[in-house]
């Protein structure tokens, strides 16, 4: 699905922040990406949806060499990847339901209101459909962001520290949704530095743990 071979990346053509990364995101698998703050987790996620392109090495996404993709092909690729960003970025003057539906409206697709209601119900936000984003709690914002990330039915869901500001119960509630998505067949990659969260999730779903250390990617041991 996403394959990297000896990929390196440096911002603005500078020294490599990440080097010699070999990665294979397996279809239908749950993955964690861990590593200290500033190690490059967000950068690696951005490479996965071709928001950044490798400086060195080879990378394919859904079978295509990302270095060879046209702008239109990159746009198509991004439709197959749903991203929950670290900073949830809503349009504060639009209600939650319209924010969640935004990927459809900006790409000129009709909004199936029943499907939208179902999606809001799934993330537990039925009562907040008409609310404005600033009135949501942290957990509600993250669940709205997850709904928005999956409204286009992506094959791959990337979540960048989705539980960063949430208490344990809210974190697990969000993880439960990601586990459900994975069980429905989606490939999931969650960046987090919270090892307890990884352990609690691994008790429920088989997950691969990737770790960034020393500027490259490792497969973490089974002890995690």
Ligand X SMILES: Nc1ncnc2c1ncn2[C@@H]1O[C@H](COP(=O)(O)OP(=O)(O)OP(=O)(O)O)[C@@H](O)[C@H]1O
Q: Which 153-212 positions form the footprint of ligand X (CB under 6 A)?
A: 193
Does residue 43 interact with ligand X by CB under 6 A?
yes
- Select from 137, 171, 59, 154 the least CA-distant residue to 103: 154
Strand 2-9 vs strand 56-61: parallel, antiparallel, or unpaired? antiparallel
The residue within the footprint of ligand X, chosen from 41, 128, 143, 148 (CB under 6 A), is 41
Q: Does 39 bind ligand X (CB under 6 A)?
A: yes
The minimum distance between CB 35 and ligand X, in angstroms, equals 6
Three-class SS of 4-66: EEEEEECHHHCCCCEEEEEEEECCCCEEEEECCCCCCHHHHHHHHCCCCCCCEEEEEECCEEH
**DSSP label at 109?**
P
Nearer of residues 31 and 128 to ligand X, judged by Cβ: 31
Interface with ligand X (CB under 6 A), residue from 35, 82, 103, 154: 35
Look up residue 106 and give its two tokens.
């900006």
Q: Which stretch binds ligand X (CB under 6 A): 39-47, 169-177, 178-186, 199-207?
A: 39-47
Binding site for ligand X (CB under 6 A): 11, 17, 35, 37-43, 193
């Amino acid at each position: 699905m996403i394959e990297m071979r000896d990929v390196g990346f440096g911002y603005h053509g500078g020294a490599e922040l990440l080097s010699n990364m070999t990665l294979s995101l397996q279809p239908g698998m749950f993955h964690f990406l861990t590593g200290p703050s500033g190690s490059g987790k967000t950068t690696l996620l951005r490479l996965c949806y071709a928001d950044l392109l490798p400086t060195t090495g080879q990378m394919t996404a859904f079978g295509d060499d990302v270095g060879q993709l046209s702008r239109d092909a990159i746009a198509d690729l991004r439709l197959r990847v749903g991203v929950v960003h670290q900073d949830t970025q809503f349009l504060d003057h639009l209600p939650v339901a319209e924010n969640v539906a935004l990927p459809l409206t900006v790409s000129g697709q009709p909004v199936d209101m029943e499907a939208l209601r179902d999606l809001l119900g799934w993330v537990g936000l039925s009562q907040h459909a008409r609310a404005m984003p600033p009135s949501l709690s942290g957990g509600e914002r993250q669940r709205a962001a997850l709904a928005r990330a999956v409204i286009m039915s992506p094959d791959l869901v990337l979540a960048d520290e989705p539980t960063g500001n949430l208490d344990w119960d809210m974190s697990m509630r969000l993880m439960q949704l990601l586990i459900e998505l994975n069980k429905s067949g989606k490939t999931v990659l969650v960046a987090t530095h919270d090892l307890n969260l990884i352990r609690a999730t691994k008790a429920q779903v088989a997950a691969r743990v990737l770790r960034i250390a020393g500027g490259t990617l490792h497969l973490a041991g089974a002890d995690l």
